[in-house]
Structures are given as structure tokens and as C-alpha cells.
């Protein structure tokens, strides 16, 4: 898979290099032109800084840091792929995996492959993969903004992403929306490809749009609709002969339509996700602050007078329409919260950041849109970028690290228990209910549709430890964080395996429940 991926990537780069170079060097209506060593240096700086920052958020463990059930559910599907090296095809696995048996597995497959390629495992590889995705997403935002604005204002668009921090990186560092974070990269990549195609339509760039669409669908298909609608609207707008229009549509849309049809066959249950409730952040001033929405609204007003922003505006409108549709669908089906409608905000921050930078550029340039490229406006832009570096970037980079609920020691103890003791007779003596839930489902592989899983969802650390101390526990074995073990328990149990700070303990006379 690695060899095939590298060969395909090299072939694509060679085929698309002349087109992309031409598209970068000659955008319409912008002077000085995009490209050159200056833009490349800024882009590389954006990528390196974002990558270093996102990695240090989870340093040194570099393990997934999200909380809640979503993290466990994603790691459950990743564990299945890593163990079997095939996708979920057996309908009976829905009782074990829940909705993850029908989930599009693109991000989970990437994590499993990254673990295999790096000689580690998917648990270790997932967070670095998410960091790379978030970093490249910021890079594409810079490239999109650069086609509208000079370099310094495009850089400001990336800085503005740090205002709605809970939506930008919080999607995976706090909420555990791992697949969504991967899909963000492909959605923004698709947006960039549509912008480039709209400036100079070609079948090669239509193919890039098609590949990006595949990535969006396979990682998290909820976001595929808005960019597809924007591309379809661009096709209908005209500018291409009818025959070429059909060819470009086929190249861009046929692959994702075929893959979606193949994947959906027998998996229509995943459509029921539109009725789900969940813990997505509701957009509010408390979550994004006041500066970001004010700049975005100002940018919307500016964008209506600049035809080059039509793709970005179209994407934002399409996201709003889909959010309203999902909200109505959720309410009609009795969902307590419009979960997926709220999730549209996680993607909307990217076009809003570009529009915010557009507003800042117009503010510094005055009423004339062309004045944004003047020497005075560009100098003012660098001054503003420096100010935002201090007022936005510096505080964001000092955000406290999130302590992960997962650990390699507990993972190894769980794997050993699964292979040598069994999954049905193991308890969890850990200090977080999310950790117990992760061990029970994603590490030991127990079924979600069971009374024991329901008990784990109500896990209370002190009660679990108390049962073992009082010797009234029903399980013969337990995975324990040894830093939590009280003296009155250590004298009553035997440690049969130890992995760093984690251990597997056994009460006297316990028998394995392993079925071979």
C-alpha cells in the first residue's frame, strides 16, 4: 500500500505540475502574482509552525487527546481494521460496534496504515496523522486566501483560525471527532481545487476535485454535499462548451458517485446518523468570541462586491443550507440536539476566516478593492499580522495541554488480557470513566450492545475500587493503574502482568474466560 501510494502520488505530481504552476503564477485580478520564493517561504512557515504547535499539544505521548464516547468508537473501528486488515462486512458486527459497523472508514484505515508503515500501531499513529491534517488544512486556507489577497493578509486568514480554537483543533483534541478532522483537510483541499478550476477550467483540475471528493466521502461523508453543490453551480454558470462541461462533470463527480453507491449498498443504516444527538459545540459568542463573527460579517459584506469570492461565498451559503436542513431533520426525528447541524460550524470557520482576512484587507486599503495591493496597504498588513501574532497566536500557543484518557501502558495491559485472559471477566480500576469505556470496547473488543457496556457507561472510579477492596466484585481480573492501588487492595490480589504504570491483577481462584 505504501509503494502504491507513493508511486501514484509521484505520477499525479508529474502530471499536474504544469497546470498547478500556471494556476499559481497567473491568478486573475491580483497583483503582484501569486507564487515565488516569498509565498513559498510563508507557506512553509505556516505549515511548520502549525505542525509543531499541534504536536506539542499532545507531547510527549502523542496519543489521541479527545474525551467522550466518540474517541472510543473511532478507536474501536481502527482496532478492527488493524486486527483483520479488512473492512466491516458482517452485519452481525453491528451489535458489537454499533454505528461504527456502517461508518465510512477512510480515516481509520489511514491511521492503521500509518501505524503499520511507522512500525508502531494505529493508537500511536492517529494523533500525528490528525496533526498533519490540521496543519495542511491551514496551509490550504492560506493558498485560498492568497488568490484573493496579498501574502500578509492571506497569513492573517490562518491566524484568524485560532480565534475559534475549539472548532479548529478542539474537534480532535477535545471532542474526539477524529474522522471529521481528517475530512476537514479533504474538504478544504476540494474547496481550493474548485477555486483553481473556476479560474481556469481543465480536466486535470476536475480530476483533483474528484479525488478530494473521494477523500471527503470516505473520511466523513456529511461534508460532501456543500462543495459538490458549489462545483455543480460553477459548471452551470457557463464559460465552457457543453461537451467539455459534461466531461469535466464526469471526471469530478463520477468517482465519488460510484464509490458512494458501492459503499452504501447494504449499509443504508448509516444514513440514520442525521437523527443522532451528540455533544457538538453550539455556535455562540462564548465558544468563538466576538472578534471572529464581527470580522466574518464584515467580510461577507465586502465579498458581495468581489466576484473572485464567489466560490467561497457559495461554499458558505451551501453550508448554511445544509445546516438548516439537518436541523429540521433532527428536530423532526426527535433528536434532543441538532448534532450534525452544529457540526457544520466546524467547516464553516475556514471560509469565514478567509472572509475575515478580506475584511481586514479592505479596512486597511480603504474603499478601493484594488488598493489592497498598494505599498501602503501591504505595509499596514504586515503591521497587522505582527499585532495578531501577539494578540491571537501567542495566547493560543499557550493553551494548556489536554491529558489523554488513553495510555500505552493501559493499552498493552488490555491487549495482554485480551490474548491471555479473555474480555468478559476483566474489570477496570482507572480514574476516568472514559478510560474504562475505551478499555472495554476498543482494547478488549467487547460488544457495545450488552448490559456490561451499559454499566461501563455509568462507571464511577471510587465505586469500582471499593468493590475490589470489599471483595464483592464479580470479575476475577482487573486492569489497574498501579498509581491508584491502595495498600488494602495490593495485599489481596496477585499482579500477573505489569506494563509500566499499568498492571493486570487477579483475585485468588479466578479462572480465565478466554475462548479459543
Q: Is the pLDDT of residue 11 over 70?
A: yes
Which of the four pLDDT bands, split at 50, 70 and 90, describes residue 249? very high
Q: Is the pLDDT of residue 353 over 80?
A: yes
Report which of 505, 496, 487 is spatially closest to residue 430, judged by C-alpha positions: 505
Helix (H) or strand (E) holding 504: strand 502-506
476 CA to centre of own chain: 39
CB 197 within 8 A of CB 205: yes
The percent of residues in the chain predicted with pLDDT above 70, rounded, is 91
Considering just the CA atoms, what is the radius of gyration of the chain in Å?
Answer: 25
Least confident of 91-105, 106-120, 360-374, 459-473: 360-374
CB 479 within 8 A of CB 413: yes
For range 115-138, the mean pLDDT:
95
Distance CA 323, CA 334 (A): 16
Neighbours of 33 (CB within 10 A): 11
- Three cell numbers written together for 486: 491502595
* Residue located via cell numbers 474537534: 171
CB 2 within 8 A of CB 117: yes
- Name residue 330's beta-bridge partners: none
Q: Is the pLDDT of residue 299 over 90?
A: yes
For range 277-292, the mean pLDDT:
81
322 CA to centre of own chain: 19
- Taking only the tens place, the pLDDT of each residue in 407-431 is 999 999 999 999 999 988 899 999 9
DSSP letters for 84-104: HSS----GGGHHHHGGGGSS-
Distance CA 351, CA 339 (A): 21
506: alpha, beta or left? (left if phi > 0; alpha if psi -120 to 50): beta
Q: Is the pLDDT of residue 272 over 70?
A: no
Which of the four pLDDT bands, split at 50, 70 and 90, describes residue 31? very low
- Taking only the tens place, the pLDDT of each residue in 300-326 is 999 988 888 999 999 999 999 999 998
299: alpha, beta or left? (left if phi > 0; alpha if psi -120 to 50): alpha
Q: Is the pLDDT of residue 370 over 90?
A: no
For range 24-33, the mean pLDDT:
49
Q: Is the pLDDT of residue 18 over 80?
A: no
- Name residue 481's beta-bridge partners: 502
**Averaged pLDDT score across all residues of the chain:** 87
Neighbours of 238 (CB within 10 A): 8
Distance CA 95, CA 92 (A): 6
Q: What is the pLDDT of residue 516?
A: 46
For range 488-513, the mean pLDDT:
90
- Sheet containing strand 477-481, edge to edge, reads 426-429, 477-481, 502-506, 494-499
SS (H, E, C) 106-132: HHHHHHHHHHHHHCCCHHHHHHHHHHH
- Taking only the tens place, the pLDDT of each residue in 449-488 is 888 888 887 888 888 888 888 876 678 899 999 999 988 8
Q: Is the pLDDT of residue 30 over 70?
A: no
DSSP code at position 476: S
Pick the more confident residue, 198 or 36: 198
Which of the four pLDDT bands, split at 50, 70 and 90, describes residue 369? low
Amino acid at each position: 500500500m505504501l509503494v502504491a501510494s507513493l508511486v501514484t502520488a509521484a505520477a499525479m505530481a508529474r502530471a499536474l505540475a504544469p497546470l498547478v504552476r500556471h494556476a499559481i503564477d497567473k491568478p486573475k485580478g491580483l497583483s503582484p502574482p501569486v507564487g515565488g520564493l516569498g509565498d513559498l517561504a510563508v507557506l512553509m512557515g505556516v505549515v511548520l509552525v502549525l505542525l509543531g504547535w499541534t504536536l506539542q499539544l499532545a507531547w510527549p505521548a502523542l496519543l489521541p487527546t479527545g474525551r467522550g464516547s466518540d474517541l472510543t468508537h473511532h478507536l474501536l473501528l481502527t482496532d478492527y481494521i488493524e486486527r483483520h486488515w479488512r473492512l466491516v462486512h458482517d452485519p452481525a458486527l453491528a451489535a458489537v460496534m454499533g454505528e461504527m459497523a456502517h461508518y465510512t472508514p477512510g480515516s481509520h484505515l489511514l491511521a492503521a496504515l500509518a501505524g503499520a508503515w511507522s512500525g508502531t500501531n494505529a493508537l500511536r499513529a492517529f494523533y500525528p496523522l490528525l496533526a498533519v491534517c490540521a496543519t495542511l488544512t491551514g496551509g490550504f486556507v492560506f493558498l485560498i486566501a492568497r488568490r484573493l489577497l496579498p501574502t500578509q493578509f492571506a497569513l492573517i486568514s490562518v491566524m484568524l483560525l485560532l480565534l475559534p480554537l475549539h472548532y479548529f483543533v478542539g474537534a480532535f483534541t477535545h471532542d474526539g471527532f477524529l474522522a471529521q478532522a481528517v475530512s476537514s483537510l479533504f474538504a478544504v483541499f476540494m474547496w481550493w481545487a474548485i477555486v483553481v478550476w473556476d479560474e481556469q477550467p481543465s480536466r486535470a483540475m476536475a480530476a483533483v476535485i474528484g479525488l478530494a471528493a473521494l477523500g471527503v466521502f470516505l473520511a466523513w461523508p456529511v461534508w460532501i454535499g456543500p462543495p459538490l453543490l458549489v462545483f455543480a453551480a460553477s459548471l452551470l454558470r457557463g464559460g465552457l462548451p457543453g461537451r467539455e462541461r459534461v466531461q469535466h462533470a464526469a471526471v469530478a463527480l463520477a468517482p465519488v458517485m460510484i464509490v458512494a453507491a458501492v459503499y452504501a449498498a447494504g449499509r443504508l443504516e448509516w444514513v440514520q446518523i442525521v437523527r443522532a444527538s451528540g455533544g457538538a459545540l453550539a455556535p455562540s459568542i462564548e465558544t468563538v468570541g466576538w472578534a471572529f463573527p464581527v470580522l466574518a460579517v464584515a467580510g461577507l459584506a465586502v465579498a458581495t462586491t468581489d466576484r473572485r469570492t464567489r466560490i467561497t461565498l457559495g461554499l458558505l451559503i451551501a453550508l448554511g443550507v445544509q445546516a438548516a436542513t439537518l436541523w429540521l431533520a433532527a428536530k423532526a426525528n426527535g433528536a434532543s440536539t441538532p448534532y450534525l447541524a452544529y457540526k457544520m460550524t466546524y467547516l464553516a470557520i475556514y471560509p469565514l476566516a478567509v472572509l475575515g482576512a478580506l475584511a481586514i484587507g479592505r479596512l486597511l486599503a480603504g474603499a478601493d478593492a484594488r488598493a489592497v495591493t498598494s505599498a501602503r496597504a501591504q505595509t499596514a498588513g504586515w503591521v497587522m499580522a505582527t499585532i495578531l501574532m501577539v494578540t491571537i497566536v501567542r495566547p493560543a500557543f499557550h493553551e494548556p495541554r489536554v491529558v489523554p484518557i488513553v495510555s500505552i501502558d493501559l493499552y498493552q495491559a488490555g491487549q495482554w488480557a485480551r490474548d491471555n485472559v479473555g474480555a468478559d471477566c476483566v474489570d477496570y480500576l482507572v480514574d476516568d470513566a472514559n478510560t474504562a469505556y475505551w478499555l472495554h470496547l476498543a482494547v478488549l473488543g467487547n460488544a457495545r450492545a450488552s448490559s456490561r457496556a451499559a454499566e461501563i457507561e455509568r462507571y464511577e472510579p471510587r465505586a469500582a475500587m471499593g468493590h475490589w477492596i470489599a471483595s464483592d466484585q464479580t470479575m476475577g481480573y482487573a486492569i489497574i493503574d498501579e498509581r491508584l492501588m491502595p495498600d488494602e487492595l495490593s495485599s489481596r490480589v496477585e499482579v500477573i502482568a505489569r506494563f509500566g504504570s499499568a498492571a493486570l491483577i487477579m483475585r485468588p481462584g479466578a479462572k480465565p474466560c478466554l475462548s479459543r
